[in-house]
Each structure stands twice: as C-alpha cells, then as structure tokens.
Chain A
Amino acid sequence: MKIKKILIANRGEIAVRVIKSARAMGIKTVALYADDDAKLPHVWMADEAHCLGTGTLKETYLNQAKILEVAKNTKADAIHPGYGFLSENAGFCEAVEKAGLIFIGPTAEAIRLMGDKIGSKIAVEKYNVPMIPGYHGSNQDGAFLSGEAKRIGFPVLIKASAGGGGKGMRIVHAESEFLEALASAKSEAAKAFSNDAVLIEKYVTEPRHIEVQVMSDTHGQHFHLFERECSIQRRYQKVIEETPAPRLSIETQKAICQTAVEIAKGINYRGAGTVEFIMGADQKFYFLEMNTRLQVEHPITEMVTGFDLVGLQIQVASGEKLNLKQSDIRQNGHAIECRICAEDPDNGFLPTVGTIKKIGTATLKDVRLDCGYVDGSVVGVNYDPMLAKLIAWAPTREEAINKMLVALDEVVFAGLKSNRDYLRRLLRHSDFKAGKTHTHFIPDHSESLKPLPADSKEFAVHVAAYLLAGTKTSVSSEGVAKKNPWTSLSGLRN
C-alpha cells in the first residue's frame, strides 16, 4: 500500500531526519510537539503539525491515544516512531495496526520477542548464535554458583537478574574472591530491586561493542548493511561511533554480519534492526541483544554504504520488495559520528541548559550535521541532552578523524556548554587514533582526557582573537550585558 502521509511520533533530530527522507520521496508529513517544543525545526519543517499540550512525557509524546487521534484526523497512512519513546512498545505497534495504519517498524511479535534480555537470548540460541557463557538459572546456592564460575572460567561477572545500571554487579577475578563478591552483590541487589537473584557471566576483557545493521522486507529478504563499532561509551551511553570497526579481521566481519542476518531470518524480522554483540580482544563475539528500531548512529552506515535507511524503512512498510542483492551492499571509506551533548564533561558530565546562540556550519565535503535545533532554540531539562550528531566520511579512518576535528571547530554550539572540546580530546587520543577502542576507554583514560589548564600556551591565539575581535558586548552569567572597551575601538575592518 503506497504511503502518502506519515505521522512522526517523535521529536528533535530524528523527527527532522524522517521528514527529510519523506520529503525526498514526495510523502507528506505530520509532526507532533509538546508545548515547550513549539519553536523547534521538526515542527515547522513538516507539512502539518499538531500540539500535544503540556505535561509529562506520558501526557505528550508517549500519549498513545492522542497520537492515534491526530493520525486519524490528519488521515495519515503510517506512523514512524523514531527511536526511544514508543519505538519498541509492542502495545503501541498493535494499536497503530488495529487503527488501520501502518507501523513503520517491525511486528509487535518481534518487538516483544527481542524486548526481553533473557527471552531474546533464549530465542536466538537455536540459530547457532554465540552467547556469553554463563549461568542464568534459579539455583542461588553459594557453593553451586562458585562451581559455575569455575566452569565458565574467570574472570566472571556477577549480575543482578532483576535490574541493571551497574547495581548488584561485581567482577570476580579469582575463585578465592568469589563468595565474598557474591554476598556483596546479592545484598546490593536486594536493596536496589528487592530481589537478590543473580546470574553469572564470563567477563569479557577489553570488551568492544560491535553491532550489525539489518534490513528485512516483507518478501522474505534479509540483508545486512555491515557493522558499526560503538565502544566509546560513558555510563552505557554511546559517545563516538564508527564504521568499519577498526582492527576487525575480514573473517570476523563476515561471521558477525552473517550471524545477524541469520537472526533476522530466523525470527522473520521486518524493517530496520540492529543486532548488538560484545567482542573480546580475541575477536570472539557474543550476542548481547537486538534493537528493533532505527538507531541513533544509523548515519554512519548511510555514509559508508550509500543507502538511505529511513527511505528503506518506508519502502518496506509500503510492502515493497527491496530491489537488492546482498552483493550490492558494500562499504566504501570510513565514517565517524560524534554525539554533541548539552553536558559538561569537565564537571562530572552534568547536564547543561541554555539558549543556542549559534550552531555554526561544517564546510568540508562529506560532513553531515543531524540536528533537531536551530539558532535561538532553548535547551532545557525535560528531554535527552543530545544536541546533534556530527558525522564525517572520508576514504580513510585517519582522514575521517581529521575532518571531524575541523568540523568540531566550525560547529560551535555557542550559548551553552557542550561536550565538543571533550570529543576533540577523545579523537586526538593516541589510543583512539590507533583504533584501540573498547567499552572502558573513557574511564581508563580519564586522566589523559582532562582539559588543558587555562593558562596553557595553546590558548595564546584564542586570547589574541578575544582581544582583537571579542564580542562588543559580553553577557555574564547574571544575564547583564557588559561593554568590552577594547572592541569598541573604531575602525575595525570587516
């Protein structure tokens, strides 16, 4: 069924992203916005926009009844859920389809199957997918678990079954430490989740987060669009992503991509999805989970393969058979993405707020900025701190890093503190340049990622620029404009 109008049940940069592809395909768009988002670009870039009112997320962007009502009134054919929000809500998928609309995403069944960390592991096991050796059963006896840990092989990770976020988690390096760590993990889990059940897993050393993009249509075709490495993370949030994954052998790349396709095929998947794996220094990889939606970092795959993933999602949702062979999909060059966030990495990564005075423009070729804000946008506390994604493509990884550094100079996001300077330090770090990426990169290198002291010689040129061309008025934290006497000199050439 040809889709003529899409309602986007999301906000910010991903809503802008979907609008762009829909426009290119001649499809009309309906945007939704909570009252405090009224001035954002996703609202005025769409063909129609409807206000969800004020209130909590539950009353606005997560308000299924309201969303479906707008869809009905605007006669939308399909709903694109973006990422986060309702994108992996099986109930919403069902409600959309029940209302006679197309859900641009997988089936509710696939969402449910893969939405459960333990359930998804059980589901994929039958497709010969490597799993992290572990024990997930109900026997919680100390001596038994110690035996299991020995069987799995140290180091092991003790994890709370009922929750996450690091609580109830302990790394154990030797048999002699096991029982004490177990008691401590159980007590923490009991306090945090009222459930002291734990599971044991092999602890992968220098773990890398490697994921594979898959795309399935409704005609039995399942493709992969290669891998992405997302190891540069902080508190389980990705900061820098890249493709191809550095230091990956061709055999491993083939194997991991093929495994992802087997999973998509096995569960008869539909649409865009990402299969996530953990890989050790020995290039052995293990299934972690599957995300049944489009991911934040999808642009790097687009830059390297040349495909529009949102466009493919819409084609699949329209019932089209993708006119492709796996051999048509190739990786060309290297792409890196940096997530620019409203946070201060030099102050505990605390979120920052403010008004964006100027975003800036990336001038080099093959540099893309996916941003849900414009100059003048107000960034507050209510939503995700990610301001934009800056993506650079080049024929080689080294060039992509260079381009990204230039782009970070140009895309200034003046007006509020962001993590751009921190991103530069990550990109310039010798281990990052050497491709020695793993998920503990940021905590391991925290000392060498600290900023330069304010009186460093490197700032001479910045001081000069300020003295010669600093803004005529400077705004202090109290919001009072002060005159800078040095720049009110007349005769400054333009």
Chain B
Amino acid sequence: MKRNLLLNQTVVSVNVGMINAEKVSFEWAGSTHSFELIQRSGDTVVLRDAHGVQHRLQVTSGLVSGCGLDAEITDATAGSKKKPAVLGGLNAPMPGKVFKVLVKTGEPVTKGQTLLVLEAMKMEHAIKADKDGKVRKILFQEGDLVQGGMTLAELE
C-alpha cells in the first residue's frame, strides 16, 4: 500500500507491504526493509532490522532523530508541503522588523536593486527586486513587524 510522506520538506513515497503494532515491512530506495519494534519507552524507540541489528531513535512531535540523522516526517497531504522561504523574492524570508524602506511607490527599479532591509536576530536581510520594473506597492513601513512569508512589496 503506497503512502506519501513529507520527509524533510520533500514528498516521498513508501510502499508498505505489511504493518501491525510491532512489525513493518516496506519498499524504500530500491530495496525491501523489515523492522520490528523491540521497545518503546517515552520518546525512545528501538527497532530491530532483518539482520538482527538494533537502531535507537527518538520520535518526538514530527522529528525522528537517531543513527546520526534527523528526519522530520509527517503524512503528506495537500497543503502540508511547506513553501521554502524564497530568498530574493518579495516575501519576508523570516519574521522580523522592517528596518529601512529604500524606494517609493511608482519608482522604477532594476533587477537586484535593494527595495527594503529586514532586521531580525541582529542580521540584516536585503529584499531585492527579482526583475526590472516599477514599484506598485510597499506594504509595510519602517518599524513594522512582519511574519515569515508575508509579501513585503509588489512590482509591476
């Protein structure tokens, strides 16, 4: 039975052959894997694979950590795919404060020109025009607090 998962923000597909409370067998990355759940104590999970090798992992709130790797895993459903922060786009890549607005409505700008500077965690992030154009709208003023993903400026 095919299941779609979101693993580290990428949609992946796993073909589950069989699953019950203690055992699972599935196809992944070109081979078949079987694991037995040996122990579960709090967030610690111990799995034994088909060769008898044991693997200890922590499973907490969407994060599976162990064996030297982290995997953020949830079921993939429409809308659960996170949009990666668009660097250089006109959205705020992170929550912060509008530090400086460098252009005005109606002003012509060139690709790569800095339109605003966002300040967060002592870092400055320049929001640059992604194409030549004219400033249609600057949606915030200096001193405004913004959330990640919010549109900061529109060009036409």
Contacts and interface: CB of A to CB of B under 8 A. Distances in A.
The answer to whether A and B belong to the same complex is yes
Interface of A: 347-348, 350-353, 357-358, 360, 380-385, 405, 408-410, 412, 414-415, 420-421, 424, 428, 451-471, 474-478, 482, 484, 486, 489-494
B150 interface: no
B55 A461 contact: yes
B31 to A, nearest CB: 7
Contacts of B120: 351, 381
A467 B69 CA distance: 17
B84 A347 contact: yes
Interface string B31-57: 101010100110101010100000111
B7 A463 contact: yes
A414 B70 CA distance: 10
Interface residues of B, number: 66
B88 to A, nearest CB: 10
A467 B21 contact: no
Interface of B: 3, 5, 7-10, 12, 14, 16, 19-24, 26, 28-31, 33, 35, 37, 40-41, 43, 45, 47, 49, 55-71, 73-75, 77, 79-80, 82, 84-85, 87, 93-97, 120-123, 148
A491 B22 CA distance: 9
B33 A415 contact: no
A350 B93 contact: yes
Nearest to A406: B68
B85 A462 contact: no
B62 A475 contact: yes
Given A464-B26, A465-B64, A412 B21 contact: no
B91 to A, nearest CB: 12
A457 B19 CA distance: 19
10 contacts: A408-B68, A409-B68, A454-B8, A457-B30, A463-B26, A464-B33, A468-B19, A469-B40, A476-B77, A492-B21
Contacts of B96: 381
B33 A474 contact: no
A272 to B, nearest CB: 24
